[in-house]
Amino acid sequence: MRYYVSFLFCLYSISCICQSEVAYELIDTQGDIKLYSKKDTKSGFIEYKAELSSSRINFKDVLHIFSDYENHNTWIYNCLESKLLKRDSNEVYLYQTVKSTWPLKNRDYILRFTVNEVTETHVDLRYEAASHYIPDLNEYVRIEEMSGRWDVKTNGRATTVTMYGSFNPKLQIMPTIFQKKYVKLIPLSTLNKLSEKLLSIQN
């Protein structure tokens, strides 16, 4: 019975891995960055995956930049402000505002981060919207549906940072061309700026 349960668990794990691999398709490669598009995108959502892999960046430096929450606006795409609301051993609440293209109002959101140290060389950071943690501010449109993950690992030769994102920008109509643009632009800009910060630390 024990071997049967173990066999079923292995099948389930393989199934999950396969599903995660087929959910995205590679759409572009720019330098050390690979960009992916989700095949079945939720209606009204922008969803993406991107990967930065380089031997020139340091695993611990990545974690340091991530944990510097109030400076996320220096590398997150279009982020205007990043404010730490609460922090304990493995949970963080973060308030951020982002610039929107005129004539749209700027957006804001609250994220609840959880940090999981899988191994000494692999850290998994997950986030989800915590919209009601602070009241809405009239000058912004509150993004209430947002989730994602940062996966950071090293094999001793290269460090790989993988970002997954899914959010509803709260647009009544979102043209396909707009969606395709930001599926690439958001992760590409973010990972390029992150890479620049990491390389500047090395210098």
What are the tens digits of pLDDT across the range 76-124? Answer: 999 999 999 999 878 999 999 999 988 889 999 999 999 999 999 999 9
Query: CA–CA separation, 10 vs 25, rounded Å?
Result: 25
Task: State the pTM of this model.
Answer: 0.86
Q: Where is 37: in which H helix or E strand?
A: strand 33-38
| pLDDT confidence of residue 103 | 84
H-only helix segments in the chain = 2-22, 59-67, 176-202
Would the pLDDT of 14 be above 80? no
| pLDDT confidence of residue 74 | 97
List, for residues 129-157, the tens digit of each pLDDT value.
999 999 998 899 999 999 999 999 999 99
Per-residue burial over 11-25, b if 16 or more Cβ lie within 10 Å, else e, is: eeeeeeeeeeeeebe
Would the pLDDT of 9 be above 60? no
Average pLDDT along the chain: 88
Would the pLDDT of 10 be above 90? no
Mean pLDDT for 184-203 is 94
| Gyration radius from the chain CA atoms | 18
| pLDDT confidence of residue 178 | 82
Query: CA–CA separation, 173 vs 179, rounded Å?
Result: 11
Per-residue pLDDT band at 62 (split at 50, 70, 90)? very high
| pLDDT confidence of residue 86 | 95
Would the pLDDT of 191 be above 90? yes
How deeply is 177 buried, as exposed, middle or buried, from its count of CB atoms within 10 A (0-12, 13-18, 19+)?
A: exposed
Would the pLDDT of 12 be above 80? no
Residues 6+ apart with CB under 8 A from 11: none
- Overall size of the chain counted in residues: 203
